[in-house]
Structure 1
Amino acid sequence: MTLAPEHPHNTRHLPQVAVRFSPDGTPLAIRHNGTIWMVDPALHTNHWYSRDAWWETRDRAPRGTGDVVSVEHWQFQARAAGSDDLATVCLRREPLSEQWLLESLSHDTTSRVEESWA
């Protein structure tokens, strides 16, 4: 079986979010458009890495640059402050970046995507 790299993802249009993590590295909350979304600790979170096709998005990777291919992802259920409604939040962090990007935010009570930038 051959694994193909993830198709290059245009992240320029994805909004940046502030993320607060627990000491073990799990997201606790995010801030997006002035709203704080609290992660529901009783529900499962998903954490994975995909591969960036850096050769299609960058001219070259200088020696010693670090990991230029691992894109980090988190998916979890969260509630906006003061709300009982759950939303599914998908975050991504590009290689060599410290900034988290909001890939999607979908409200589960309506089963439709309210906001999606993917």
Structure 2
Amino acid sequence: MARRASDEPLNVPVQVRFTAKGIPLAVRYDGRIWAVAAEPVRWFTRADWWNTATRAPVGCGDLISVEHWQVQVRLTSTSALRTFELRREPLSEQWLLAGITDAGAAAA
């Protein structure tokens, strides 16, 4: 099953293991460990801060940058690739699985 851009985000909590340089190595989702099999892509968006907290303590850090990673993952070396979109909200340590796309689904 593929999630397309028009669908609602999944927002499922996941665990992500990173290299020492901060690059995703693996994602634990649905009780399984998915290994990253291709170069991940990272980007940032801005949270809608005007609709969230109105006040923040001085020095609490970045309150508006939402971190995203697009990673191609697989369960085994012979299984099909899937694309996971990961997201982490400002000041949170919890990663969320925003969406899943199966390989070949983009062409459909």
* TM category, shorter: 0.7 to 0.9
1:107 corresponds, among 86, 102, 106, to 102
Identity of aligned residues (%): 46
Out of 52, 55, 59, the residue aligned to residue 50 of structure 2 is 55
CA distance in 1, matches of 2:57, 2:20: 32
Q: Distance in 1 between matches of 2:56 and 2:15?
A: 28
Q: Give the counterpart of 1:33 among 30, 35, 47.
A: 30
Q: TM-score, structure 1 length as denominator?
A: 0.75
Q: CA deviation at 1:59?
A: 2.6
Q: How does 1:87-102 map to 2 (within 5 A)?
A: 87-102=82-97
Matched residues in 2 for 1:100 and 1:65: separation?
19
TM-score, normalised to structure 2, is 0.81
Secondary structure of 1:103's match?
strand
CA contact (8 A) 1:90 1:103 kept: yes
Aligned to 1:15: 12
Q: SS of 2:93's equivalent?
A: coil
Gaps spanning 5+ residues in structure 2: where?
A: 1-7
| 3-state SS in 2 of match to 1:66 | coil
Contact 1:35 1:81 in 2 (8 A): no
Aligned structure 1 segments of 4 or more residues deviating by more than 6 angstroms: none
